[in-house]
Structures are given as C-alpha cells and as structure tokens.
Amino acid sequence: MFADFPFLSILTGVPLVGALIVAFLPRAKPELAKRVAFVWSLAVLALAVVMWIAYDAGGDRFQFRESYTWIPAWDAKFTFAVDGIALVMLLLIAVLVPLVILASWHDADASRRSVPVYFALLLVLESTMIGVFAAADVFLFYVFFEVMLVPMYFLIGSYGGQRRQYAAVKFFLYSLVGGLFMLAAVIGLWALGGHTFDWQQLLSADFSTGTERWLFLGFFVAFAIKAPFFPFHTWLPDAGGAAPAGSAALLVGVLDKVGTFGILRYCLPLFPEASTWFAPYAMALAVIGIIYAALLAVGQNDLKRLVSYTSIAHFGFIGVGIFAFTTQAGTGAVLYMLNHGLATGLLFLVVGMFVARRGSSLISDFGGAGKLVPLLAGVLFFAGLASLALPGTAPFVSEFLVLIGTFTVNKTVAVIATAGIILAAAYVLWMVQRTTQGTLNPALATVDAMRRDLTVREKVVVAPLIALLLVLGFYPKPVTDVINPAVQATMQDIQKTDPAPAITEAAK
C-alpha cells in the first residue's frame, strides 16, 4: 500500500519547511513559535510511525527507495533508502525531537536571544539528522554529514551556558577535520569505484588492498571523531557541558550515532578486507574508551560533563559490538544505539531540569535534593539505572547481546569491557547519592525553584522515555526483528559467519 509513497523525502523536507515557518514568526510571540514547532515535530513523528508500520522486516534489505537526479556529471543523486538499522534511528529522532522541544520550552527565554530561531534550529537539525540516516548516495550522505554541524554549532554557541563559544568552535573544528578526511575518501571512492556515488553500485567495486585500507581509514577517522571514540573524544564533554540540555540530549542521543551508523553502513560493506584488518585496532580503541571514560566520569563534579563521559564509555560498547563481527554482537550494537539514545536522552533532560532549578550544574551545589523534589529525584535515579544497564531496562538487553556476542570470538575483550559495567555503577550511584540523597544542602532551601517538583509538561517529557525503556527492556522483539536482517546482510557483505557452538564430550 505504501511501497511507492515518498516517506523519506517528505520526512527530510517537512522539518525544514517547519523551521522556515517558525523562524519568521514574530519574535514578540515566543509561545506561538514553541507551539508551532512542537506540532510540526508531532507531524514528523506520526509519519515516522506510519513508515515503521509499513516497513516489511522480512522484505527487501532497503525499502522506500527514492532517487532523483541531482548532479548528472558526477552521477550524484538524491537517493534515499532505509534498512532496519536506519529505520530504528529515524524513529529515535522522531520520538526525541518533540520531547526535546517540550523540555526546552524555557531554554531560549533566559538567553535573551530569538526564541523562534532557537526552535527553528531544532527543526533544521531534525531535517539534517533524518537526511543523514536516510541517504543512500555517498555524496548526499557527506553533504548531510557536514550540514548537520551548522544548526548544532549555533544551538551551542548562541544558546549554551558558560564557555559556549569555546565548546561550539571545538565541536565544529573536530567535526570539520573529520569531514575533510571523509571528503578525501569520498573523492577517492568516486574516482576508483566507477565514477558513481550510488551505494548499491559501489558495493561491487573492486579495490586493491592498499587502496581499500586508505579509503576505509578516511571514513573511519571521520566516524570515530563523530561517535566519538577514544582518543577523538575530547570535544564531547565540552560540547555536552555547554549546550542547552535539550540540544545536548540530541547531540549524544542522535548526532553521535552517525559515527557508529556510518561504520556499519559504509566502512564494513564497502571495505570488507580493510574492516577485518583494522578490527583489532578499532576494538582496542573501543575497550580503552570504555574504561578511560568511565574513570573520568567517576571524577566529574559537573553533571552535564559526567553524562557526556558516560556516553563515551557507552560508545565503546557499541564499537566492540560492531567489530566483533557476530550477528549477536552486531544486533546488540544497533540496539545499543537506540537504547543509549533513549536512556542518555532521558538522563540529559532530567539533569537539565535540575540545572534549570538550581542555576548550577555542579554536583557540589546539590545534596539532599530528593527531599525537595522527590519525583524529579526518582526519575533521575531511574535514568541512572537505565544508563548503567540495570536488568529490566532496555540498555541491559543491548549490553548483554554485545558482551555475549563478543565473548564467543574474543573472551579477553568481553571480560575487560565487563569491568566498565562495574565502573558505570560507581559513577551513576555516586552522582545520584551526591545530588539527591543525604543531608539537605542548606543553600538549596533558599532557592524557590528547587521546591517545584515535576510539572505537567515535564511529566509529559519523561513518561514516554521511561515507558519505552521499560517495554524494550522486557520485550525488545519488535525492534530486534527489524534490526536482525540488516545486521545479517552486513555480516554477509564482509563475509563473516557466526562461530559454531562448541560440542562438548558429554554432548557427543
């Protein structure tokens, strides 16, 4: 019924049209801009849900394919298509953006800058995020990859907190350097791959071993910076700490996933031999990132920087799952991308609520806050437990799949990565204890806003994320059924098969 409906071009274009409308609304009517942006984001969510329902998990690998002529001389086209991996990420974007708009209702008011422009930037960001996951043309992907930086740069630099200019410039420069590596690889791919940017055609391109490794490296460096993987991670704590809470939730919840998605979509299928050759090094960087970022998180006194460091550790698990080259680990990695977006998005939004009330993001400025805002403290505790992958929450399923899938091929990596779970418990429980538990900080009692518990609007923000984390924690099958075929196809692209289970003497 919906096979020929242009879901992806409409999904990409609708937020952009909404952004133009919101941006030109009168600055003197900020509430109107907020309402229009929210309703527009709900329309995107409705369309994404219809697309999810119309997707046939047992059908073709890529569905809803559209292709329009763009630059004939380069054979560059507006080609869109999604597999199960991209579809999951599109739904994550569609769910998070309306909640971020609600959570950011008053973020732009305090900045004394244009409120309509702030919410227009969020819609522009949504458009570019959808485009980068929906693109099936390498050049189109690169364009969205670069353009996506612009709205986030202004969200951080114009509406962020202290050191916002430094954080915005650092974020932009790191991403731009990564983009230059990718641009060189994209040009090489076109020149040596048959003068085409079409992903499907490039899949059958034949490169020499040396060429393939250089092209892989160009893409991988760009994606490792975007994710970010150790040692390319230093921009994230600054950007996450300075960005408004809602923008930070999208930064760590979605934008960073472009890196891991890019590895799955471009590095592995297009460069199978190079992927295998570089896998031990990528796995080592991922494991170091898990332990290193977790240790740094333990020592943080800034809530937003702490959450940013936890994301770096989580991306280590995703990297391990990708380069383990097993279906279980790969499915776990993609599921982790979704679940991390939900859990860390919730954590950042709740932290933003605390920071907005206290006027500070320093943990030492809190203490005993649960006595004043018990519901908000409870949501923070739940978000923390989900972030450390407590059984019963969605991240546990993905983390378990990554570790068990990795253990079958590399026990050492799986064991070291498991140590990251112990450290996660330390930094999450330490954060919750220092922020909401213990003796009430006398300074909190003098802040009127700290006596205001969750409002109706804030309950609407956190309730869907809590529900999704619980439902997917107990019943992830609807999502894994969509992810599995795409992961299996990716494993076939790199000619990897799952190891056969060992047969013991007793079984014989």
The pLDDT tens digits of the residues spanning 125-169 come to 999 999 999 999 999 999 999 999 999 999 998 888 888 899 999
Per-residue model confidence as pLDDT tens digits over 380-412: 999 999 998 999 999 999 999 999 999 999 999
192 has a pLDDT exceeding 60: yes
503 has a pLDDT exceeding 60: no
Find the mean pLDDT for residues 19-28: 90
206, burial (CB in 10 Å: exposed 0-12, middle 13-18, buried 19+): exposed
Distance (Å, rounded) from C-alpha 95 to C-alpha 342?
9
Find the mean pLDDT for residues 275-299: 92
**Inter-CA distances, 77 with 15, 80, 187, 188, 280, Å:** 21, 9, 15, 18, 35
DSSP state letter for 370? G
pLDDT given for residue 445 in this prediction: 80
**Inter-CA distances, 104 with 38, 144, 361, 384, 394, Å:** 11, 24, 16, 21, 25
Per-residue model confidence as pLDDT tens digits over 445-475: 888 778 888 899 999 999 999 999 999 999 9
pLDDT level of residue 108 (50, 70, 90 thresholds): confident
Residue carrying structure tokens 């076109």: 190
Distance (Å, rounded) from C-alpha 320 to C-alpha 327?
13
pLDDT level of residue 109 (50, 70, 90 thresholds): low
Do residues 333 and 260 lie in contact, with contact meaning Cβ atoms separated by under 8 Å?
yes
Give ∠ CA 338-158-243 in degrees, rounded to 5: 35
214, burial (CB in 10 Å: exposed 0-12, middle 13-18, buried 19+): middle
pLDDT level of residue 49 (50, 70, 90 thresholds): very high
- For residue 484, the SS3 value is helix
Per-residue model confidence as pLDDT tens digits over 329-355: 999 999 999 999 999 999 999 999 999
pLDDT given for residue 505 in this prediction: 47
pLDDT level of residue 500 (50, 70, 90 thresholds): low
Residue carrying structure tokens 């990795």: 406
- Name the H helices within 363-503: 374-387, 394-407, 411-436, 442-445, 456-474, 477-493
- What rounded mean pLDDT belongs to the chain? 90
The sign of the torsion formed by the CA atoms of 7, 13, 19, 25 equals: negative
pLDDT given for residue 506 in this prediction: 44
Cα 39 off chain centre by: 23
Distance (Å, rounded) from C-alpha 27 to C-alpha 119?
12
Q: Which of 49-53, 109-113, 300-304, 372-376 bottoms out in mean pLDDT, i.e. has the lowest?
A: 109-113
- Name the H helices within 25-134: 30-54, 84-103, 115-134
- Annotate 238-275 with DSSP letters as a single string: HHHHHS-HHHHHHIIIIITHHHHHHIIIIIHHH-HHHH
The percent of residues above 70 in pLDDT, for the chain, comes to: 97
Distance (Å, rounded) from C-alpha 239 to C-alpha 235?
6
Find the mean pLDDT for residues 427-433: 90
Do residues 395 and 343 lie in contact, with contact meaning Cβ atoms separated by under 8 Å?
yes
Distance (Å, rounded) from C-alpha 382 to C-alpha 340?
14
Find the mean pLDDT for residues 20-45: 91
The sign of the torsion formed by the CA atoms of 337, 341, 342, 346 equals: positive
